[in-house]
Amino acid sequence: MHGSTRIRLIEPGDAAPIAVHRARDVEAFRWWEPTQPAEFFTPEGQAERIDKLLAGHRAGTVRPGVVLADDQVIGQVTVGGILPQLHLRRGSVGYWIASVAQNQGHAGRAVGLVLRVMTDELGLHRAEVSTHLENLPSQGVLRRNGFSAYGVAHSSIFLDEHWRDGLLWERILGD
């Protein structure tokens, strides 16, 4: 899985490889994401999710992407909550990389690429991200891409039967 990293808009055909990664990595992601129903880990469940993401893309509220290494899907990088109005122009970045491709620089490169998409294609001014306080690898990815931490969102996500705090990150695009 070493090799070049690129991103592109998600496609219906990405459902099967995403399902394989998510099913294999369910325990690895348990600390970072809410519990999902069993169908989430199937190609059919991913196909349904991709259809919804693409509907959001057509509506201009989300830019769902996949991360590729040597043309194989190894993760996702999505801009959600897009507010394109002139006085706001911001979006929230979310990403994950499959365990078989982690620690190879793909997350950092994918975030850098999506920041260019946010600036050049979407015309956004601000990128936002939230990480768990314990997610040091993701925080390193954000720092290397010019993000700054600016606050804590207390009890912002329910994971593993507990409300967890999130660390808030921002980057002004074009800087």
pLDDT for residue 2: 57
- pLDDT confidence band for 175 (50 / 70 / 90): low
Domain with 20 in it: 5-172
| CA atoms of 144 and 149, how far apart (whole Å) | 12
- pLDDT confidence band for 31 (50 / 70 / 90): confident
pLDDT for residue 11: 98
Where would I find the H helices in the chain? 15-24, 26-29, 43-59, 106-116, 136-144
How many domains does one find in the chain?
Answer: 1
- 86 or 68, greater pLDDT: 68
Q: What is the mean pLDDT of residues 68-96?
A: 93
Residue 47 token pair: 């196909």
- DSSP 8-state code for residue 41: G
Output the CA–CA distances (angstroms, integers) from residue 172 to 62, 89, 115, 121, 167, in the order listed. Answer: 19, 11, 10, 16, 17
pLDDT for residue 131: 94
pLDDT beyond 70 at 166: yes
pLDDT for residue 59: 95
For residue 86, which phi and psi values (nearest 5 degrees)? -50, -35
pLDDT beyond 90 at 27: no
Q: Three-class SS of residue 59?
A: helix
Q: What is the mean pLDDT of residues 152-157?
A: 91
Mean pLDDT of the chain: 93
User: Which CATH number do you get for residue 16?
Assistant: 3.40.630.30
pLDDT beyond 70 at 129: yes
pLDDT for residue 35: 81
Q: Could you tell me if 54 and 64 are in contact, meaning their C-beta atoms sit under 8 angstroms apart?
A: yes
Q: Write the pLDDT tens digit of every residue in 103-128.
A: 999 999 999 999 999 999 999 999 99
